[in-house]
């Protein structure tokens, strides 16, 4: 399959570390995806963030912050509707600021926090960073969230998230190139790290595309944020078909798992090898976690194309496939391809469904 994705060439790279934010989130599957498959009504996921280090300038960025440790202090409208109501169950051990300092990263060396978007499981607690750390958001975010709580009693973010620090809105005009169907902003102006305008899930939703190796065989990490909430929204696809024998088996052990056993639970059995298991859920009344479900599905389609490239590791925020495969901060993720993380993690999501081979 020939890819239409063209990433501008560059010899510049960034160092990337995947941060396990110690956030564990338990939630009903139907909030995010449909249809219900094999009786699975809930799921548990981590929330990953990323440390990006640009050595030529010494600038360090943190992409997302997971859930704040004192989530009881979230803006009251959000806490009451999502957590106090029991819809989401949370366990958070540390703030990202704690994780960084415990591993020798001085917070005053963090140039900026980038929010992929403004949902509670991504914004963390910026007030734990010094005022010299700016907050970078996507187009339209300030107008949609400010003023914040408690100045605005119905606000979904806290005034303390913003107060005392520079707020930088990436303007739509700054996404002045296109990579794989997404508009892209060359953050350091050297091709090492792009912010991608990935619309549909929420206002100003952005992803990050980091060049991790540049030696003629360039590799990239795509920080997928909430473009998808489950790998079954990306896979299988025409670019990543379900193999006849899946190795390593999603169920563990040394024996490969036959791909055909998943035909029985696939919502479109005739396309079980090339069509994803899940789509974005839209209730009968039209409500959806996605701000624009149609646009969000287009964004998923573009991400499938990246996922099909062997030199791009797609790592979305709640990717349960990554746990136990990737090495997390303080270790770096730049060597992901040589370590085989993509192949080792690709089909692990299938273990969410208990399916036995027919005899």
DSSP 136-193: EE-TTHHHHH-SPBTTSTT-SSBGGGTTTS-EEEPPGGG--EEETTEEEEETTSSSSE
Q: Which SS3 state, helix, strand or coil, does residue 320 take?
A: coil
Tell me the backbone φ, ψ of residue 82, rounded to 5 degrees.
-110, -35
The answer on pLDDT for 117 being more than 90 is yes
| Spatial distance between the Cα atoms of 70 and 153, rounded to a whole number of angstroms | 20
Mean pLDDT to the nearest integer, 310-317: 98
Contact of 305 with 290, CB cutoff 8 Å: no
Judge whether 219 lies within some domain: yes
Instruction: Tell me whether residue 56 is in a domain.
Output: yes
Q: Domain residues for 193?
A: 15-233+312-336
Q: What is the edge-to-edge ordering of all strands in the sheet holding 206-213?
A: 177-179, 182-186, 193-197, 206-213, 219-225, 312-316
Nearest one of 31, 94, 87, 45 to 65, comparing CA atoms = 94
| Cβ atoms of 51 and 62 closer than 8 Å | yes
- Tell whether 201 is covered by a domain: yes
Burial 321-336 (b: 16+ CB within 10 A, else e): bbeebbebbeebbbeb
What are the tokens at 217? 């065989």
- What's the pLDDT score for residue 329? 98
Q: Render pLDDT for 125-165 as a digit per residue (tens, 0 to 9).
A: 999 999 999 999 999 999 999 999 999 999 999 999 999 99
Phi, psi values for residue 211, rounded to 5°:
-85, 115
CA 224 to each of CA 129, 291, 359: distance values in angstroms, whole numbers, following the listed order: 24, 17, 39
CATH of residue 133: 3.60.15.10
**Residue 356 pLDDT level (bands cut at 50, 70, 90):** confident
Over residues 39-63, the mean pLDDT reads: 97
pLDDT for the residue 216: 83
Q: Is the pLDDT of residue 322 over 50?
A: yes
Taking all residues of the chain, what is their mean pLDDT, rounded to a whole number?
A: 96
What's residue 357's pLDDT? 62
Q: Does residue 162 sit within a domain?
A: yes
Q: Is residue 6 part of a domain?
A: no
Residue 2, CA distances (Å) to 68, 85, 148, 198, 211 in order:
42, 48, 46, 22, 21
In whole angstroms, give the CA distance from residue 222 to residue 235: 16
Confidence of residue 359 (pLDDT cuts 50, 70, 90): very low
With 80 as the cut, is the pLDDT of residue 98 above it? yes
Question: Span 277-293, mean pLDDT?
Answer: 95
pLDDT of residue 3: 73
In a domain, 102, yes or no: yes
Mean pLDDT of 208-229: 96
Q: What is the dihedral angle through the alpha carbons of 169, 173, 177, 182, rounded to the nearest 10 degrees? A: 60
Whether the bond between 91 and the residue before it is cis, its omega within 30 degrees of 0, is no
* CB neighbourhood size of 51 (10 A): 24
Say whether pTM exceeds 0.85: yes
End-to-end CA distance of the chain: 34
pLDDT score for 2: 56
Q: What is the pLDDT of residue 253?
A: 86
Enumerate the β-bridge partners of residue 146.
none
Q: How many domains does the chain have?
A: 1
């Amino acid at each position: 399959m020939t890819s239409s994705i063209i990433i501008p060439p560059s010899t510049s790279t960034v160092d990337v570390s995947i941060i396990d934010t110690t956030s564990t989130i338990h939630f009903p599957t139907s909030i995010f995806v449909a249809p219900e498959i094999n009786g699975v009504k809930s799921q548990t996921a981590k929330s990953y963030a990323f440390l990006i280090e640009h050595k030529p300038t010494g600038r360090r960025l943190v992409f997302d912050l997971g859930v704040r440790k004192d989530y009881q202090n979230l803006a009251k409208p959000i806490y009451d509707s999502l957590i106090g109501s029991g819809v989401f169950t949370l366990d958070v051990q540390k703030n990202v600021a704690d994780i960084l300092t415990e591993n020798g990263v001085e917070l005053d060396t963090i140039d900026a926090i980038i929010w992929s978007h403004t949902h509670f499981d991504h914004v963390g607690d910026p007030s734990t960073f010094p005022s010299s750390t700016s907050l970078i958001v996507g187009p339209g975010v300030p107008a949609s969230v400010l003023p914040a709580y408690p100045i605005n009693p119905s606000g979904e973010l806290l005034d303390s998230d913003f107060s005392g620090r520079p707020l930088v809105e990436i303007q739509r005009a700054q996404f002045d190139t296109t990579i794989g169907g997404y508009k892209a902003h060359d953050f350091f102006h050297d091709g090492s790290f792009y912010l991608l305008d990935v619309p549909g899930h929420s206002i100003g939703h952005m992803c990050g595309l980091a060049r991790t190796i540049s030696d003629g065989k360039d590799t990239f990490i795509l920080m997928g944020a909430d473009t998808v909430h489950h790998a079954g929204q990306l896979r299988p696809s025409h670019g990543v078909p379900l193999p006849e024998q899946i190795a390593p088996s999603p169920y563990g052990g040394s024996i490969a798992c036959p791909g055909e056993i998943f035909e029985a639970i696939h919502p479109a059995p005739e396309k079980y090898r090339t069509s994803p298991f899940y789509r974005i859920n839209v209730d009968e009344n039209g409500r959806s976690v996605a701000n624009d479900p149609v646009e969000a599905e287009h964004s998923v389609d573009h991400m499938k194309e990246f996922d099909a490239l062997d030199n791009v590791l797609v790592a979305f925020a709640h990717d349960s496939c990554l746990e136990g495969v990737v090495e997390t901060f303080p270790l770096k993720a730049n060597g992901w391809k040589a370590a085989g993380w993509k192949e080792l993690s690709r089909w692990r999501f299938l273990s969410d469904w208990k399916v036995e081979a027919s005899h």
